[in-house]
Structure 1
Amino acid sequence: MPRFKLVFFSPVASTSTILSQLFKKYPKTVGRIGQYEECAFFTGGHGLFRPGPEANPAIGSRGALEQVEEHRVEVLVTDKGENTEIKNAIEELKRVHPYEEVAYDVYRLEDF
Structure 2
Amino acid sequence: MNKLHALVVYVPRSHTERVLAAIGDAGAGRIGNYSHCSFVMSGTGRFTPLEGSEPYLGQVGKPEEAAEDKIECVVDQALLGAVVAALRAAHPYEEPAFMSWPVEGWR
- TM-score after normalising by structure 1: 0.87
Per-residue deviation, 1:110: 1.2
Identical aligned residues as a percent:
30
Match of 1:100 among 94, 98, 101: 94
- Alignment-mate amino acid for residue 72 of structure 2: E
- Corresponding residue SS for 1:16: helix
Match of 2:82 among 84, 88, 93: 88
RMSD of Structure 2 on Structure 1 (CA): 1.3
Following TM superposition, the consecutive aligned residue runs of length 4 or more in structure 1 with deviations greater than 4 angstroms are none
- TM-score after normalising by structure 2: 0.90
Please list every run of 5 or more consecutive structure 1 residues that lacks an aligned counterpart in the other structure.
none
User: Cα deviation per residue 1:67-107 (whole Å; 9 max; x = unaligned)?
Assistant: 00111110110134xxxx11221122112110011111102
Distance in 2 separating the partners of 1:87 and 1:38 = 17
Distance in 2 separating the partners of 1:34 and 1:13 = 30
Please list every run of 5 or more consecutive structure 2 residues that lacks an aligned counterpart in the other structure.
none
